[in-house]
Amino acid sequence: MIQNFHPYPESLLNKARALKDEHVMITGAHGFIGAQLLNLLSVAHVPCVGLSSGKTTSNVRVNSFGRKNLVVCDLDQPASVARSFHGVTMIVHTATYGAYSWQVESGEIFKQVQQLETLLSEARKNGIKAFIHTGTSSEYGQNCNYAKEDQTPHANSLYSLAKIQCHNLISYYGKTLNVPAMTLRLFSIYGPGEHPRKLIPHICSSILENHPLTLSDPETSRDFVHIYDALEMILDGLLGIQPQDYGEAYNVCTGEQTSLKNVADILAKEFDFKNLRWSSGVAKSWDLKTWVGSTEKTFKRFGWQAKISFAAGLKQTLEYYQEHRFLLNNEFFLPRKKISVIAPCYMDLQSIPILFERLRVVFENLKYDFEFIVIDDVSPDGAYESLKEHALKDARWVLAKHTRNFGSQSIFMHGLDIATGDAVVLMDGDLQDPPELIPQFIEKWEQGFDLCLGKRVSREEGFWFSFKCKAFYRLWNIVSRIDIPLDCGDFGLISRAAAKQIVSFRTKIKLWRTLRAFPAYKTALVPYRRPNRAFGFSTNSNRKLIMWSLKFLFSTPNFIAFFYLLGGLAGFLFFEDSLFFVIPYIFLGLALLVALVNLLYLKNFQYPEYTTEELIQKQILVRFPAGEHDLGQR
């Protein structure tokens, strides 16, 4: 995690503080430019909110100040976007896809056009004071030699074409609909927090690690702009936008060519670094030799010009990476796996929000995303209505409400049905299962275990309750052909592939502990001490425990045979031919037979495992009308 190491120039901080009466929304807040802007405004104590997709890359660039203002929002969902506009007065749209050479999916590249239209539409409805869209020098395409804003664009890639369409939207909303929106065409922005596969971090890594640096054609040149200069122009745009700027584009560039030969000379002179070699690799079709812009229009309108020379900016960036070398590690920027955490909610109104906060802290220090799936089983404490606010604000929440109480096993199956993670964690919602154990589960899962369970080495519920549980599961393992890991509850992680297989099992007795044990997946056990409930009291009465026991016993075909075998042996050894001992067995056997017939009856009618009244996913609320409830039926 980035610490509070952001020595922003005082002049930049003062300019940011001029926005203290505004509320700035930043999209793409996990990206290089978005994260730096969020950090700056947060350090300057400017009201702001950073929107992050929460599904692509790490938020590692965001410092401890910025993280307090970071929320997850899906820009593909108009309703999710609309809710993010609450109180917002200004917008800086930095979210994009296709800027890096490895981002090549055409559907994702052109999706940003629709995302921008959604944002502009909401900005118009909400009377936004300023809308800054960060465009790119790629919009000039082939016409990129001292490019001017009013010249005809000549797209040379799908990304270039998509960004041209984005500016056309800005132009339409600005000039035709009078929305205060404009485009800032960013050239080669560099500085702390840039992706490690880009040129400047690659140079810094070579210097710090003293390993060879390979560069391409020495005549290739770029217009390098330090991130602090770019941030200053964004602030100038927010503070100074006027009707004459609506729908316009402005270059953010130095107007100076810095060739790779110049870069090599600076490295030798300023850093005494000469461990360099030149590559004769074939350039990509869109990667032109010269890429430089004109500063005339921007300087004339805003008086802005870059202040930091390339040599000074490179030195400042190198100093930053000396303190934050981990940001030169490419693995921090790879697409992240997602963990789905499923928790039932029944009399857990107080504990569920605390559980989410503990999960947030846990995953903040992991290279994984997470979603928090809470299933309200018609909790009598009104938990659903209270938790809705959380789910509508944060896309990491998934909240569902059952039409009636179906029990914890149906909750887990419902959660597995809607989970989207690469692995799934099941846990109680009463804080008895510590989320701080999840990193150990993930470690075991990454080592190849399909099932990682928490093993209770002790529990605070009392001796008698603990004794009953231990005795029952040991008896079960004697009776059944299915060996359940001893002293393990529902708390644990299961791989997505294994969870999908379990969900497909065709059985009406859905008992999670037997279902996960049946395939004999490769299993790891992680010991922990199970505390008492943090709030309220347990809803597990003796009646419920007896019903649980019966369900477990009926879920194995060996139970009845084992039951009669014990009776036969006891009768033979102690009662010989006495009918006195046989008669109770006959009645009890009939009762068991009736119970089994009842199970077959229920199976024949194919009742659903659960029915859903409402579902909130990705901040979108779906209500199921009576008679059209979402059915958990396989």
Residues of the chain under the 50 pLDDT cut: 1-5, 56, 286, 561, 565, 568-569, 572-573, 576, 627-629, 633-634
Residue whose C-alpha is closest to residue 121's, from 93, 96, 149: 93
Strands 368-376, 397-402: parallel, antiparallel or unpaired by DSSP?
A: parallel
* pLDDT for residue 193: 87
At a CB cut-off of 8 Å and minimum separation 6, what does 594 contact?
none
* pLDDT for residue 4: 44
What pTM did the predictor assign?
0.69
Q: How far apart are CA 533 and CA 530, in angstroms?
A: 9
Q: 3-state DSSP call for residue 83?
A: helix
Could you tell me the end-to-end alpha-carbon distance of the chain, in angstroms, rounded to an integer? 43
* pLDDT for residue 2: 44
DSSP 306-373: --S-HHHHHHHHHHHHHH-GGGG-GGGGSPPEEEEEEEEESS-TTHHHHHHHHHHHHHHTSSEEEEEE
Q: Is 182 exposed, middle or buried (0-12, 13-18, 19+ CB in 10 A)?
A: buried
Domains of the chain: 10-192+224-255+292-307 (3.40.50.720), 338-623 (3.90.550.10)
* pLDDT for residue 19: 97
Q: How far apart are CA 304 and CA 52, in angstroms?
A: 29
At a CB cut-off of 8 Å and minimum separation 6, what does 572 contact?
none
Whether 553 and 479 have beta carbons less than 8 Å apart is answered as yes
* pLDDT for residue 601: 52
Residue whose C-alpha is closest to residue 115's, from 54, 241, 28: 28
* pLDDT for residue 3: 45
* pLDDT for residue 634: 46
